[in-house]
Structure 1
Amino acid sequence: MRRGGGPLTVLALAQAAATYEFTVGFVALPAIVVDLDVAPALVPWVPGAYAVVFGGALLAAGRLADRLGVRRVLRVALLGLGATTAVVALAGSPTVLLAGRAGQGLAAAALQPAVLGVMTRVATGPGRARTWSVWSAVGAGGLALGAAGGGVLVALDWRLAVGVVVPVCLFAACVAGVLPSEPAVAEPVRVPVRSAAVTTTAGVATAASLTLGGTLGWTAPATVTAILLAVVSAVGVFLGERSVAPLLGRDLRRRPDVRLGALLAAAYMAGPGALYYLVTTMLADLPGFPPAAAGLLLLPLAVGVVVGSALSGRLMVWVGEERGAPLGFGVAALGTVGVALALSAVGGLAASSLVAGLGSGVAFAAVFALAGRDVPSDRRGAAGGIVVAAQYLASAASLAAFGVLAGPVGHRGVLLLAGAVSLVGAVAAQVGRRRGAREDQGVTTRSGGDPDDRW
């Protein structure tokens, strides 16, 4: 095995496991609802419980990874993801199912910042872009397999489709010793528990407000309660960030690379990343498309994502990492519009899905290669948590919004909206690249690698 191949394999498997479990929840949803007799009001929470807890807990998880060490947290998180996935696969009631899905989100929240923290040490030197492309190809492949391969497995048994990840998590946890050890930290990183709890509550309440609003109505007592809780906790987050023990800290909030990474990660999940769900629900509403057939029709999208991610390394070496994100988002927007126009035309749908997947794969790799690449090693877990929190909170919010809009505007309208979000991502990446370049010209890097001592 090449040098670095072992750590990269572990990280890629961890990323693929987390992303697979996120998307397979959408594909398996119809079978789960029938098998466990899930009440209509709880249906959105089968996929939503994962994303809501995931996005809400990520910021605290990033600080925890910096405090305890990313390798240790990664191993524990893998074991936790395997255990909670087994709970979901064996669930006999909606209550156990939703508890397991929330547990999966919590384990994945601990996993993602740790993965990104180790990746920033593995992906170095001349092969940096290529290493990121390999990692993102496997991670994006997990998203694709959750939609396409998961649809095939659901036709056999939804429990098999969900539980197939358990041995992957156990294997990756067992061989995590090949990951690089932690660098020495001058002083322990503080984990402000109160700020973490308030921030997590804000994320959960915000996503819950959108989900409940789309399901029960915006004036329903549960929706109003969630909105009030979101507002109160958001004020708490604002005040907490100005306290002596902030969760994020002024240093991370001011970094152009972290801000741009969070914005682009959110645009990715509300644009190209939403295609798995949007195409799946579109096909589910068409007559004669069982889950297995719908999964197979998603294969062009899945192949495009994996190929785009795999080729992104060479592409970013050729055009530069800063130009990879606008290019990927632009191609994804073009393909998404094609999917909206093709709808049930199988040939046009397949070709447009392939184009959208290619752009999505390039954008996915570029976003995470750019985000926080110059962040000091003892803050990379927190920086990774910010980026991935933006990614999954945007996913929960956008899917809830798309669900509300699907009725009045139809599938074509929702897909066109997702294409518009992808286009916005391309413009934001281009503008952010130029602005970041201008800001970096005025930043002096000191001997400790700390720009202007802001860390």
Structure 2
Amino acid sequence: MSENKHPRNAMNAVDPRRWAALAVVLIASFMDAVDVTVVHMAIPHIQQDIGASSAQVQWITGGYALTFALGLITGGRLGDLFGRKRVFLLGVVGFTATSLICGVAGNAEMLLAGRVAQGAMAALMVPQVLSIIHVTFPQRERGKVFGIYGAVMSLGTIAGPLVGALLVQGDLFGLGWRPIFLVNLPLGIAGLIAGVLVVSESRAERAARLDLVGVVLASAGLLALVLPLTQGRELGWPAWTYVSMAASVPVLALFVAWERGLLRRGGSPLVVLSLFARRSFAGGQGVQLMFGLASGVFFLAWTLYLQLGLGWSPLKAGLSGLPLSAAMMAGAGMSMQVLVPRFGRVVLQAGALLAAAGMLLFACLAQHYGSGIATWQAIVPLIPMGLGMGLIIAPLTDVILSEVPHEHAGSASGLTNTTVQLGQAVGVALSSVIFFARLGHGDPAAQAAKMPYAFTGSLWYVAAAFVAASALLATLPRTAGTKKPTAGPARRSEQQDTTVPVA
């Protein structure tokens, strides 16, 4: 394996396999997006089969998001340093293997451990997706590519519950809920073979050692915040939970100080803090955090509300999410191709407010009709929510990465994914306080009767997160995402890259 000594000239030639490579990395993204939510529809069956407690259910869902969030920055940086293709393929292998562990788990503890490990493997795989897109496609094609990426992620997020419902209710080979994880095996093997053949290798021009101190500090700070939120209610909020949450602040502050000091000493920090000097990057991270928080609270409460509160079958509950998926895809397409190139930031802000309006409508209907809510009344509010989220998701990724140098593509991608996954982990953890606390510790019948009340209360928090996202979007440049005329010399140099392709 040798390095090209003239990376700029090498990158001027557009990779002829870039669209095939895009298909491979999008399959990996789809697998991850599905796995975040696929388990939701199977929760009642998992509880019945292996006796998982409420706290274990939260960890089965939130543990994946937590380890994913903890490892994303490191995973992105590893791709920059040691090769994005290499780390991506390693993540695919690990994700496939841990999916097998989840699928054969005989008890809640083994399933929980498998999910935590699965999140860690996804943290190696997923950051490379945006990095590979960023360094493989010329600037003129990235808007279209990120539009496709946003649509696939939207589809995967909402397809998760439907896929889970079909697999659980289908009871393939008498395996019950287990195929929701085992289905990743053929996809993972196919993705590995195709990735070896069509994805080109690349890494940062100036390789450096991994910032291990930064890894430890960032992981410790995030874990100190999320762990007590998840376990606190189940344990009765002992003193250590408050101490842990308070300790997360100085630990994360120490992480920032260490990263700054390392950069001054000429080292290679885990997080390139200079990226936050760009308005599009800093503001976009805040929006990603709010979106993760909203989805972390909503999807867990929503699936339990439909199945346990309204008595819907997994298939009916999964099918009810199709309008949300279709609306997200439609919103993403309109946003990237028509609206954002013409109107810029205001489209994203309108999308956040539209999503908030959908949640407020859902809260009012659920509160008024209770367990007697009609099917159409439980579906209609999902349409404005889906349209609003679609208007934001696809263009936001392009806006965030638009000003990022290619040599920091992995770090930026890791940060971008980390914020949304951290938001989801915190959202699932907060469900302990704003959803499960309202259900109480009664028997299943008593909890089912309280489900509409608990679900309605959680929707106000989801709507608040979308409103906060709209406010944060005001920090983006007003013309973010709009098409600007490009001079001839700029067009000729748009494909130049500081990334080293590897033969």
Question: If the length of structure 2 is used for normalisation, what is the TM-score?
Answer: 0.80
Q: Is the 8 A contact 2:296 2:428 kept in 1?
A: no
Q: Is the 8 A contact 2:295 2:427 kept in 1?
A: no
Say yes or no: does 1:280 pair with 2:300: no
Say yes or no: does 1:93 pair with 2:107: yes
Mind listing any 5+ residue stretches in structure 2 that lack a counterpart? 1-15, 367-372, 439-452, 482-489, 495-503
Q: Is the 8 A contact 1:89 1:159 kept in 2?
A: yes
Aligned-partner Cα distance in 1 for 2:346–2:209: 36
User: CA deviation digits over 1:283-329, x for unaligned, max 9?
Assistant: 13324223222212222222222333344331356435544422322
Give the match for residue 374 of structure 1: 403
Q: Is the 8 A contact 2:28 2:92 kept in 1?
A: yes
Counterpart selection for 2:471 from 408, 414, 427: 427
Q: Is the 8 A contact 1:333 1:422 kept in 2?
A: yes
What are the within-5 Å matches in structure 2 for residues 173-192 of structure 1?
173-176=192-195, 177-182=197-202, 185-192=204-211
Give the match for residue 441 of structure 1: none
What are the within-5 Å matches in structure 2 for residues 16-415 of structure 1?
16-155=30-169, 156=171, 157-176=176-195, 177-182=197-202, 185-219=204-238, 221=240, 223-224=241-242, 226-227=244-245, 230-231=248-249, 233-244=251-262, 245=267, 246-271=269-294, 274-316=297-339, 318-319=341-342, 322-343=345-366, 344-406=373-435, 407-408=437-438, 410-415=454-459
Could you say which structure has the greater relative contact order, defined with CA pairs below 8 angstroms and 6 or more residues apart?
2
Aligned-partner Cα distance in 2 for 1:81–1:394: 22
Structure 1 residue 13: deviation in Å?
0.7
Q: Is the 8 A contact 1:20 1:142 kept in 2?
A: yes
Letter matched to residue 360 of structure 2: V
Letter matched to residue 346 of structure 1: T
Mind listing any 5+ residue stretches in structure 1 that lack a counterpart? 438-444, 450-455
Counterpart selection for 1:418 from 447, 462, 472: 462
Q: Look at both structures and tell me which one has the larger radius of gyration over its CA atoms.
A: 2
Aligned-partner Cα distance in 1 for 2:306–2:20: 39
User: CA deviation digits over 1:209-268, x for unaligned, max 9?
Assistant: 2111233232265x3564366356335424422332442133223232321221111111
Q: Which secondary structure state, in structure 2, belongs to the residue aligned with residue 182 of structure 1?
A: strand
Aligned-partner Cα distance in 1 for 2:344–2:139: 14
Structure 1 residue 187: deviation in Å?
2.0
Q: Is the 8 A contact 1:270 1:398 kept in 2?
A: yes
Q: 1:324 to 1:68 in 2, by over 3 A?
A: farther
Q: 1:150 to 1:310 in 2, by over 3 A?
A: farther
User: CA deviation digits over 1:366-408, x for unaligned, max 9?
Assistant: 2211112221111111111111111111111122223311245
Aligned-partner Cα distance in 1 for 2:57–2:294: 23
Q: Is the 8 A contact 2:158 2:324 kept in 1?
A: yes
Aligned-partner Cα distance in 1 for 2:25–2:351: 23
Aligned-partner Cα distance in 2 for 1:74–1:269: 23
Letter matched to residue 254 of structure 1: A
Aligned-partner Cα distance in 1 for 2:157–2:274: 32
Aligned-partner Cα distance in 1 for 2:478–2:340: 18
Q: Is the 8 A contact 1:338 1:349 kept in 2?
A: no
Please, which moves more after superposition, 23-32 or 101-110? Answer: 23-32
Aligned-residue RMSD, C-alpha? 2.6
Q: Is the 8 A contact 1:66 1:189 kept in 2?
A: no
Letter matched to residue 178 of structure 1: V
Please, which moves more after superposition, 426-435 or 191-200? Answer: 426-435
Give the match for residue 453 of structure 1: none
Question: If the length of structure 1 is used for normalisation, what is the TM-score?
Answer: 0.88
Give aligned pairs, total.
Answer: 437
Structure 1 residue 411: deviation in Å?
1.7
Aligned-partner Cα distance in 1 for 2:297–2:392: 13
Please, which moves more after superposition, 171-180 or 80-89? Answer: 171-180
Structure 1 residue 274: deviation in Å?
4.6
Letter matched to residue 385 of structure 2: A
